[in-house]
Amino acid sequence: MPLPPVKVLFDENRIAARNRELANEIADVRPEKLLVIAVLKGSFVFAADLIRALHASGQAPEVEFLHLSSYRDATVSSGQVDILRDVESDVRGRDVLLVDDILESGRTLAFAKDLLAARGARKVMVCVLLEKPGKRAVQVEPDFVGFECPDLFVVGYGMDVAHAFRQLPFIGVVEGLD
């Protein structure tokens, strides 16, 4: 069954340019013993590109993954955050950069930020590809933002709806999805 068409919101070139800018902004804060923690699943493409851009900006971060979920197969957050896969590295005394695809309700990132701070991270910074500022349910502010996003359900560049569209090299909106 063919997938419905997707309208491009942010194209490949614009995303790549913004990733380079974000890497330079992150390098400018001079993080110590930087540990990048990608929040799975949606951030994996963004995190991979950002890590390469961080390398080009002179950084040498270690990389970990944290799989959290508040959505499961739904398009609206359940309000409860579950740890599906935890980090393996000790974060004590390290600067941690949490990388996520989208900051909407803020529940997932607030949970992750509090968790890592409680585990002794020296500093926990948040970098999101997309921010929907009007959708916040809890107080969490990102340190680095790729793009402000309109209140639309977006897919592509690692983000999905029911596991479809992650492979798209751009960020878009599925036409006819309400």
Domain boundaries, the chain: 6-70+81-174
Q: Return the CA Rg of the chain.
A: 16
Strand pairing of 123-131 and 6-10? unpaired
- Low-confidence spans in the chain with pLDDT less than 70: 1, 70-79, 177-178
At residue 72, the pLDDT reads 54
Which element (helix H / strand E) includes 153? none
Q: Which two tokens stand for residue 162?
A: 């029911």
| pLDDT at residue 134, as a whole number | 84
CATH of domain 6-70+81-174: 3.40.50.2020
CA distance 140 to 51: 23
The pLDDT of residue 80: 78
pTM strictly above 0.75: yes
pLDDT of residue 71: 59
CB 15 within 8 A of CB 170: yes
The pLDDT of residue 162 is 84
* DSSP bridge pairs for 85: 67
The string of pLDDT tens digits covering residues 39-48 is: 998 899 999 9
